[in-house]
Structure 1
Amino acid sequence: MIRNRKKAAPTAAALLALGLLLAGCAGDGDGGEKEGSGKKSSSSKPHGYVAGAEEAAEQQSRLVLGDKKNGTLALLDLIEGKTEPLGRMSKGAELVTDGRFAYVNSGRGSQVFDSGAWMVDHGDHVHYYRAKPREVGTVRGKKTEHVYSSSWLTAFTFADGTARLVDHAALEKGRISSTASLDDADEGPVVPLAEKALVPVAGPGGKTVVEVRDRKGKKNTTLDEKCPELRGAAVTRIGVVFGCADGALLVKEKKGKPHAEKIPFDRKVPEGERPDSFRNRSLGTTLTAPAGDKGVWVLNVAEREWKLVETGPVAAVNSAGEGTPLLALKKSGTLEAYEISDGKKIAGKKILSGTASTANASRPVIEVDGSRAYVNDVAAKKVHEIDYNDELRKARSFSVDFTPSGMVETGR
């Protein structure tokens, strides 16, 4: 039985408190500044005002679903329970998100779609917004491999070692505006950190180093800490995390400047058990990654601690973070929950109608937020909503008329 986890779900009292907080912060003196815009709105506009968007009292979760074989792209509104067309995607493309925008990555670049659902975190409170979804445009390049965002920049890294920096505030307004093109991004993903870009490049002795560049691509400095055999990255509230052969490299802002520190493994990790990529709740500080056939790595960025949970082979994995379980989807189609602290299995339930494929074209994923998880059932043409606080109870299932082989959650 999963105990003491109901606190992750928002209560009526919590929502009321949030509403009072939002009402009370209208005169808090920040002038209604839109995150990432760098411009203040008129003093007559309420705090948190965003033109063309409706502010809500709770998270406006939406799922962007794609059929990698026939190119269907749709939006499932989890508040209204309705699905609507969003556009077309290139066949075989991959879906990723930064919490608001869905990026359809293919051999020709990235199609950018605004899901119309997002959150702005002001530290002591948050604002939730909803607007009409729309296609923004395409960032051209030779096979997009990575897309990462901050409130100021979005970085696209391509397979040929090039990258483009795009103004994120312009994306919010429906425009693609490049700030720089890089031709030496061949050592790993370029990731924004606030208004700067972290660019992995080849360093002395074959070890990857990370350069800090401005929005125009000009080098500011090189971080002292090295990251051998860099692969995989994640954006968290604390900072940017890169996966390294000897652990992880955390880069955060300290007194307005990028500061790097290593989070080493507590053991020697074989090549086949190293993380290739990370999964986490949007901006969450609990990162998860398969550890080969042995289990799952969990990196607590706040505590600077790695844990290996021996689940056996998994098809998908994720966690909403502190106070919630590690979720692992087995190849049998069974979803399992584990206590992160001691690795104990606490629940298991058959979720998929069949087995879980590990092929990229039909691989299932687990998306998580503060109280629910979502798993795409490719064979059944459904998406299952799971209450991970209640014995992995299946709260709802949504049927679609296409194969949901790609899925990302926005509004977080």
Structure 2
Amino acid sequence: MTPRKTRTATALSCAALVGTGLLVGCQSGGHSDTPSNASAPARPHGYVEGAEEASEQQSRLVLADAGTGAVKVLDLITEDITPLEDRDGVQGLRTDGRFAYLSTTDDTHVVDTGAWTVDHGDHVHYYRAAIRDVGPIAVEGTAHIHSDQAVTAVSSTVDGTRLLDRRKLEGGSVPRGSVLTGAGSGAVVPYKEHLLVTAADADSATVEVRDRKGARVASLNEPCAQQRGEAVTRRGVIFGCADGALLVSEDEGTFEAEKIPYGTAVKASERAVEFHHRAGSTTLAATSGEDAVWVLDVTARTWTHIDTGPVAAANTAGEGSPLLALGKDGVLTAYDTATRKSVARKELLAEGAGPGAIEVDTTRAHVNDAAGRKVYEIDYNDRLRLARTFRLDFAPTYMVETGR
């Protein structure tokens, strides 16, 4: 195995970040936020206290063993593995790009993976810092978690939604947060300095726009009945609905909603209810029942239904890239989304190995093999070539990628 190479970026000029990770200013042209003072050195552009800026994405995998409770972080740049405190009763794992959230039988535990990206549109900053446990969020039930640079929304079917100050998470502690009243058990997604709130009550299909304190700003004109599944893309937020997807976008403070219908009758069991995609991509994948996958092209506003056979996991890197589907027979298959035909196959896992995950970045995909105690790195642009195999001393039942 050959580690990926990385270089530490030389500090450039001007503006700064304050706290530990929240960007509050990004200027160009050599200006500084530091007052003119010969004895006060200007902090370089993109500076984050306690973090190192890098020249490429700092990808890390968080892995959790449902049997033993082992939790470890695999650095894909250095190949180092960092063990964290075991967590009994792990039932799920999510990420917002930097933090990993482990759902257990008692609570949701937060891990700061110390890898993240700040995207300003015209340029991007990549950071790496120490990996650390942060602490528990006292919520029951499976938590759905979405964040922007200021707010982390933790939505639970049992406890509703709590809003956490993200700066405090970045500082290494879990804040008590505030309860979002009237939100019911629907998903809450921070977006464009507002909150998008679904299913404000049990009988509602309305999506509300609220300010960050929870006050209602508007109700969108397109409903989203039986909302399940959501994803943030460059073109807006996608919500999975009974009749397709709802795309919510913002332009100069005005929020608009557009339905992307399936275009055909779809059974409840065949709906797209959990979306997967590469961060920044506008092409999403979601399983459709047990034997097929939906591909949603947000830009084109189209759905493509691909018959894959029994599928355990699916993902895609986006426009021009294949759909990756991990079959329950352990075979990873790449599909051309235009023709819906298989273009490459790779036998990876033992047949019947159980549910898997596929995490995708700009050049590689990673597939976990819990039974085999391995993680595979796949070059999906080279006919699913096996690039690296990471052998582990525990079963990686759950896996998410951070640094994005």
TM-score, normalization: structure 1?
A: 0.88
| Equivalent position of 1:259 in the other structure | 256
| Equivalent position of 1:331 in the other structure | 328
| Equivalent position of 1:345 in the other structure | 342
Pick from 169, 188, 192 the counterpart of residue 171 of structure 1.
Answer: 169
Q: Secondary structure at the match of 2:169?
A: helix
Change over 3 Å in CA distance of 1:144–1:354 after alignment to 2: same
Which structure features the higher share of helix residues?
1
Mapping of 1:204-353 within 5 angstroms? 206-353=203-350
Native 8 Å contact 1:366 1:373 kept in 2: yes
Q: Secondary structure at the match of 1:155?
A: strand
Q: 1-side partners of 2:190 and 2:380: how far apart?
A: 32
Q: 1-side partners of 2:87 and 2:153: how far apart?
A: 20
Q: 2-side partners of 1:202 and 1:223: how far apart?
A: 12
Higher mean C-alpha deviation, range 371-380 or range 234-243: 234-243
Q: 2-side partners of 1:329 and 1:312: how far apart?
A: 10
Can you list the C-alpha shifts for 1:76-120, whole angstroms capped at 9, x where unaligned?
A: 011111212122223132111011100011243311111011111
| Equivalent position of 2:125 in the other structure | 127
Change over 3 Å in CA distance of 1:404–1:93 after alignment to 2: same
Q: 2-side partners of 1:202 and 1:156: how far apart?
A: 15
Unaligned regions of 5+ residues in structure 1, if any?
1-10, 358-362
Change over 3 Å in CA distance of 1:326–1:377 after alignment to 2: same
Unaligned regions of 5+ residues in structure 2, if any?
27-31, 35-41
Give the paired residue count.
Answer: 387
The alignment-based identity, stated in percent, is 49
Native 8 Å contact 1:247 1:265 kept in 2: yes
| Equivalent position of 2:158 in the other structure | 160
The answer to whether structure 1 residue 364 and structure 2 residue 361 are counterparts is: no
Native 8 Å contact 2:161 2:185 kept in 1: no
Q: 1-side partners of 2:88 and 2:254: how far apart?
A: 39
CA-atom RMSD, angstroms? 2.4
Q: Which has the higher contact order (CA 8 A, sep 6+)?
A: 1
Change over 3 Å in CA distance of 1:353–1:373 after alignment to 2: same
Aligned partner of 1:225: which letter?
E
Aligned partner of 2:76: which letter?
L
Alpha-carbon distance, 1:187 to partner: 4.8
Alpha-carbon distance, 1:404 to partner: 0.6
| Equivalent position of 1:65 in the other structure | 63
| Equivalent position of 1:108 in the other structure | 106
Change over 3 Å in CA distance of 1:37–1:47 after alignment to 2: closer
Pick from 51, 54, 77 the counterpart of residue 53 of structure 1.
Answer: 51
The answer to whether structure 1 residue 374 and structure 2 residue 366 are counterparts is: yes
The answer to whether structure 1 residue 26 and structure 2 residue 24 are counterparts is: no
Alpha-carbon distance, 1:175 to partner: 2.7
TM-score, normalization: structure 2?
A: 0.89
Higher mean C-alpha deviation, range 62-71 or range 40-49: 40-49
Q: 1-side partners of 2:217 and 2:83: how far apart?
A: 43
Native 8 Å contact 1:152 1:194 kept in 2: no
Aligned partner of 2:365: which letter?
A
Q: Secondary structure at the match of 2:209?
A: strand
The answer to whether structure 1 residue 140 and structure 2 residue 138 are counterparts is: yes
Aligned partner of 2:87: which letter?
M
Q: 2-side partners of 1:404 and 1:111: how far apart?
A: 17
Q: 1-side partners of 2:153 and 2:74: how far apart?
A: 26
| Equivalent position of 1:397 in the other structure | 389
Alpha-carbon distance, 1:150 to partner: 1.5
| Equivalent position of 2:73 in the other structure | 75
Aligned partner of 2:359: which letter?
E
Q: 2-side partners of 1:238 and 1:152: how far apart?
A: 20
Alpha-carbon distance, 1:356 to partner: 3.5
Pick from 74, 84, 87 the counterpart of residue 85 of structure 2.
Answer: 87
Alpha-carbon distance, 1:294 to partner: 4.1
Alpha-carbon distance, 1:64 to partner: 0.6
| Equivalent position of 1:407 in the other structure | 399
Can you list the C-alpha shifts for 1:171-221, whole angstroms capped at 9, x where unaligned?
A: 2222323552025433521111132211112579x4411112222222222
Aligned partner of 1:211: which letter?
E
Change over 3 Å in CA distance of 1:282–1:177 after alignment to 2: same
Q: 1-side partners of 2:272 and 2:73: how far apart?
A: 30
Pick from 348, 351, 355 the counterpart of residue 352 of structure 2.
Answer: 355
